[in-house]
Structure 1
């Protein structure tokens, strides 16, 4: 923690508790020198060489634009063939095997043009790929016009609100110029169905996707300081400034000065933390003397919002005034689209979570009605799930799935990597980036984005 101042054939496998996650992108496994040996539908398989750095850039950029690698190469070769002159030479030393599928006849045309220009096929292909990269720069991150505010909540303690807050925030802040394994969205419904009716984990497909690259602030709103400690931060001293003081109208400085950066290469300075202080145990008492106390959290955090795309609040297990303030902060503002901000409810697949869920939703619904607010439910996350626990777990999961509104947007297993990351005070997504839990956190971040 540092204080903050002012296609190809590739296989990715993730194995966690007998769950195998595998992705295969089109291509071949054995590569010789230049050839055009086979056909696939209306395309032919071509085999060449390409520098590793250029191959990686191509893979990332194609994913960023949501197209197949073979389509990007096809477009690059077409552009290269039509050039009036040969582009600058590219260093192809150490080029490794590369294969793709191209439209019938394109490779033969490319070979003829390369021969006319006196350029090797490896060099011509490298220039073609670079030409496509230059014409298709990395897309800009889409910033919300209104900072999104996500309150992660449940009246029951021990359900893993902190882990979900941290994991979703980490997933939102990952490097947009790198690829990470993400569970295929359409697999969630199947996984929920299968795991609610059996005790076996279902194989899940993953795909490599760029990080979301958002600027994220994690707010530890819990006096137990779990989020602060989990990410290696230091709780704020009782005799200093804190979020509680700002909410109670008694600030001792600038709240921005309390923010720390979660320093990790994967997050590139985009992930920050507002640490907790134990004085939050007194928050409800102090808020009772504050005018318009429901808006206290918003008044405190509003000056920070211009610096962030998303603010996630790790709420305490409470139904008091502090929870009212959190729910109010997550309300839908004027001009904001439904589902951009709101409450993300974390539960477990057991009976006591259902009781706590009813209490929480009753409180939010009362606040909605009393103050005429629009407070959206972003969904339910079933955390710490283990189908091997038998009927209680599977039937409870089915009960959450049956609710429909809000729907289940995440299913996170009870696996060792999260516990290890907490023990080591490291972000889960950098400690175990390919673990099943990390893959699920990225899927969750995309479900609610």
Structure 2
């Protein structure tokens, strides 16, 4: 059958799907490195060629949107009528058909070096490290991974953007644990991030204002190598509970950043590109200057401690081609770097709205362009 539509010309379609089916679709698409819209289009095309398909339970359905090639949407609606099924049922059957034809390719990994550790950083503030690290964490959790998101910045933007309160300065905190000033269980500080198809697989370790003191106290400690190993020591127990641990780091080149970089190094026995640093930049010159300073810090740390820190790649955030030559030429410069560009995240209103509403982006607007790109970044990180 020749499809009477172009795969490059798409239109937005909305259906109501049960959460379990929607979640399974996102996990399988991530495992197969396939865009959700391509998976749904393939399922609909296969469904149209069938005479019938068993009914799918669509009770409890909620809104799901994607983009189908123009013309395929009309084909689906026309095919539903003689089969006496609703459009929502037709979509559900199509997705179920695609899932049943695509078995999961990945057995559960056996980890010998703890969770994969991703450090999101850049010395320059305001580039959007917080929104990118949070979005990638949500996307990884959507794909079935257990993810811990750590607000490692004393400003606490990540904690507040997700609608949580910072830890009180008199309470136990990550910084107090790192300095040996807390006896409680670090796991007790974790809070689940609710909403979206990542629920029950994503947790937050909130920030505390006492983290402003961390650099100064690490600088004055006399214990050998405690500056670099302080974070790793307290995270050892938590690593058993997660597939990924993501750090949203401060725009700083101090000892706090050293501990994060050391934590994200490639450990003995760990495969390449499982842990490392993701550098968030913008398409302008000051991001490049900040990266040069961060690269110098990483080089010094690697030379001093004889370690390797993998640069996973760059994320060019808040990109707007309407800014002209400055933006386009800067983007080209990042794309010419030795390390890959994992994704280019556009400047769109959905992220600002999610921050204003204090909701995770992939729960507030899961099908927006930014959310789709963050999922692609997560897939590239997973390899």
TM-score by length of 2: 0.76
Residue 360 (structure 1) aligns with:
294
Q: Is the 8 A contact 1:52 1:96 kept in 2?
A: no
Q: Is the 8 A contact 1:342 1:376 kept in 2?
A: yes
Q: Deviations over 1:377-408 (max 9, x none)?
A: 100110000000111101110111111x2111
In structure 2, relative to structure 1, the CA distance for the partners of 1:243 and 1:55 (3 Å cut) is: closer
Distance in 2 separating the partners of 1:28 and 1:305: 40
In structure 2, relative to structure 1, the CA distance for the partners of 1:139 and 1:52 (3 Å cut) is: farther
Is 1:280 the counterpart of 2:211? The answer is yes
In structure 2, relative to structure 1, the CA distance for the partners of 1:237 and 1:431 (3 Å cut) is: same
Q: Is the 8 A contact 2:361 2:371 kept in 1?
A: yes
Distance in 2 separating the partners of 1:312 and 1:324: 15
Q: Structure 1: any 5+ residue segments left out of the alignment?
A: 1-6, 15-20, 30-42, 57-92, 100-125, 175-211
Distance in 2 separating the partners of 1:230 and 1:336: 33
Distance in 2 separating the partners of 1:140 and 1:376: 24
Dislocated runs of 4+, deviation >4 Å: 7-12, 21-24, 26-29, 93-99, 135-141
Tell me how far 1:171 sits from its aligned partner.
0.2
TM-score by length of 1: 0.65
Q: Structure 2: any 5+ residue segments left out of the alignment?
A: 14-35, 60-82
Residue 378 (structure 2) aligns with:
445
Tell me how far 1:142 sits from its aligned partner.
2.8
Q: Is the 8 A contact 1:169 1:216 kept in 2?
A: yes
Helix, strand or coil at the partner of 2:166: coil
Q: Is the 8 A contact 2:196 2:362 kept in 1?
A: no
- What pairs with 1:376-391 in structure 2 (closer than 5 Å)? 376-391=310-325
Q: How many residues align?
A: 321
- What pairs with 1:263-342 in structure 2 (closer than 5 Å)? 263-288=194-219, 289=221, 291=223, 292=225, 293-342=227-276
Tell me how far 1:244 sits from its aligned partner.
0.5
Q: Deviations over 1:98-154 (max 9, x none)?
A: 99xxxxxxxxxxxxxxxxxxxxxxxxxx9xx99x95x98767763351310000000
CA RMSD of aligned residues (A): 3.3
Structure 1 residues 141-150 or 360-369, which shifts more? Answer: 141-150
Distance in 2 separating the partners of 1:28 and 1:317: 46
Is 1:53 the counterpart of 2:21? The answer is no
Distance in 2 separating the partners of 1:311 and 1:157: 22
Q: 1:166 aligns with which of 131, 134, 137?
A: 134
Q: 1:413 aligns with which of 342, 346, 356?
A: 346
